[in-house]
Amino acid sequence: MRSGREWSGVWGVRDYYAVLEKMATDGGKVTSGYVLLVVTAAMLATAGLLINSPVVVIGSMCVAPFLGPSRAVCIWGVFGDRKALLRGLGTQLFGLLVLGTGMAFIATVLLRATVPGIGITSEVLLRAMPTTRDTVLTVLIAVLAGAAASLALTADPRIVEKPWGQIIDTMIGVEIAISLIPPASVVGIGVAFGRLDISRDALLLLAVNVLALDIVGSMLVLGLHGVRRRWLVLEGAIRHSAQSALSAAASEVMVGESVVSVALMSPSVADIQLTVRYRVGESPPDDLAQAIATKVQDEAGCASTVTVELTPSQVYSTLPS
């Protein structure tokens, strides 16, 4: 009998761990879209903070793209890849402290020079940790936001297979931005006003929120649900073995690249589906599924059910040789 701990994991979801890996990889990248969205969110947050408008501050949270970097940190943390984790954390901090704080500082300086009546508001002071109550509640929000991000991937793991999962990601992204973009903007606003005490307190709040969000809220939940690097490795090994067996048995008749999909059913059982396009008039061997299952058993040590979908295809090209 296997222990409950050994059996812990997410099972029966197609390519689950590969999708998590892709989420983490994509989330750790600094793209032009990420930069533009952070700049826009920071400008909105600064305007909302200085006009003392919670509605505008909330609007900035809807724009801020910090779900990706946060997921990169927590997923790579669970998978044990330190370099990738630091890359995701770097993307997160670059967006917050360089882009967010920097744009808030520039916007505040320009507004103070051109618009009368610009001053420190209660919305700004709220992010400068004026009371223990505000600190505790803000950190609690960060923990819950991180937990929501990870629960969406573990409590209902099939969300990774469904297009409407992007809607849930958007909602969670807003929750995460609650803890990040306003205090990052307040750091810049405090510097622009020469109020380093405000900047210091907001920076401390931001640091605590990042730790609460990435580690306590997100990484802990993934770990408790059994997400482990060994399942990522196992899923990849099964995929590689299946692809290798397919190439050895049918490479001469295949057209283009095949698609290999793996669902881990337990630590020792997998369901494998392959889509193979082959040239009309030729066909792969009849025992292809058996050959793949045998290869996976021998190399990955995993019993499997293999389904091969064969699609006859024609290719004609008018491209010059």
Round to whole Å and give the CA distance between 193 and 239: 57
- The pTM of the full predicted model, rounded to 2 decimals, is 0.87
Assess if residue 185 is contained within a domain. Answer: yes
Number of domains in the chain: 2
pLDDT, tens digit (0-9, with 9 covering 90-100), for 44-65: 999 999 999 999 998 898 889 9
Pair 221, 74 in one domain: yes
What is the pLDDT averaged over residues 120-132?
86
pLDDT, tens digit (0-9, with 9 covering 90-100), for 209-224: 999 999 988 999 999 9
Angle between helix 16-27 and helix 67-79 axes, rounded to 10 deg: 120
The CATH number for 185's domain is 1.20.1080
Final residue of a structural domain among 208, 227, 246: 227
| Enclosing domain of residue 243 | 230-313
Q: How confident is residue 197, by pLDDT bands cut at 50, 70 and 90?
A: very high
The count of other CB atoms within 10 Å of the CB of residue 109 is 15
For residue 201, CA distances in Å to 129, 176, 204, 306 come to 6, 20, 5, 57
Pair 125, 190 in one domain: yes
Assess if residue 319 is contained within a domain. Answer: no
- pLDDT at residue 166 in the model: 63
The count of other CB atoms within 10 Å of the CB of residue 207 is 14
Final residue of a structural domain among 173, 195, 227: 227
Q: Is 229 exposed, middle or buried (0-12, 13-18, 19+ CB in 10 A)?
A: middle
Q: Judge contact between 245 and 308, C-beta under 8 A.
A: no
Residue 92, pLDDT > 80, answer yes
pLDDT, tens digit (0-9, with 9 covering 90-100), for 291-314: 999 999 999 999 999 999 988 888
What is the pLDDT averaged over residues 213-240?
93
Of 91, 122, 100, 92, nearest in space to 45 by CA: 100
Assess if residue 318 is contained within a domain. Answer: no
Tell me the residue length of the chain.
Answer: 321
Q: How confident is residue 252, by pLDDT bands cut at 50, 70 and 90?
A: confident
Percent of the chain topping pLDDT 70: 94
Pair 204, 265 in one domain: no
What residue spans of the chain are helical by DSSP H?
4-7, 16-27, 32-51, 54-63, 67-79, 82-93, 101-114, 122-126, 132-154, 165-192, 196-211, 220-224, 229-250, 288-300
